[in-house]
Amino acid sequence: MDACASGLRSFRASSAEARTGCACRSQVEPEERRPQRSKAIPVRGRGRSSYLAKHGTPQRPEELLQHECITFRLTTGALYGWELERGRRTWRVPVRGGVVTNESRLRISLAEDGLGLAYVMEPMVEEQLRKGRLRVVLEPYAATVPGFFLYFPRRAQSSPALRLFVEAAKGLATNTSFS
């Protein structure tokens, strides 16, 4: 069963972006917008100890194919392949599972309940890791995204509202976790 709970829309269709001309993404975008970047964020697979005890802990990226993974969809409709790296080598593993959701908190909750492995940004699960509710898998293959980028048209730079928003977003990105 492919249960899909999607809370993310295509950034092109985002009403907030249409109104403000701003977008927040974790990848580099076209040059006509000026990026404001946050710090680098580790992204790793997570699983509950009980799930890992029952199904084993993957040691290599290809072993993810034998596991129940809580997946999510790209805006193109394709399922996201987990991105892993070690040294100069990279992997994009086409993981599968019974649940597809673009809601990060739901992926985390399902992993906490032992229903599978979730691929999430480290700041979102700091508490769960600290309390032992989740464990990192494939640590040597952890990818790091360069951080979030806030994009806006050059003409919007003079907007006082945008300047305040950028400063607030910078403060939140450097002073708080995502959970």
Residue 94 lies in a domain: yes
pTM surpassing 0.75? Answer: no
pLDDT at 122: 85
The count of structural domains within the chain is 1
Residue 15 lies in a domain: no
pLDDT at 33: 42
The count of other CB atoms within 10 Å of the CB of residue 151 is 20
Please tell me the distance from the alpha carbon of residue 45 to that of residue 142, in angstroms, as a whole number: 8
Q: Tell me the pLDDT tens digit for each residue of 20-31.
A: 455 544 444 444
| Domain membership of residue 137 as a residue range | 1-7+21-179
Residue 13 lies in a domain: no
pLDDT at 95: 95
pLDDT at 144: 81
Contact 55, 31 (CB under 8 A): no
Residue 12 lies in a domain: no
Residue 40 has pLDDT above 80, yes or no: no
pLDDT at 27: 46
pLDDT at 168: 83
pLDDT at 64: 94
Confidence of residue 174 (pLDDT cuts 50, 70, 90): low
CATH code for the domain of 170: 3.40.190.290
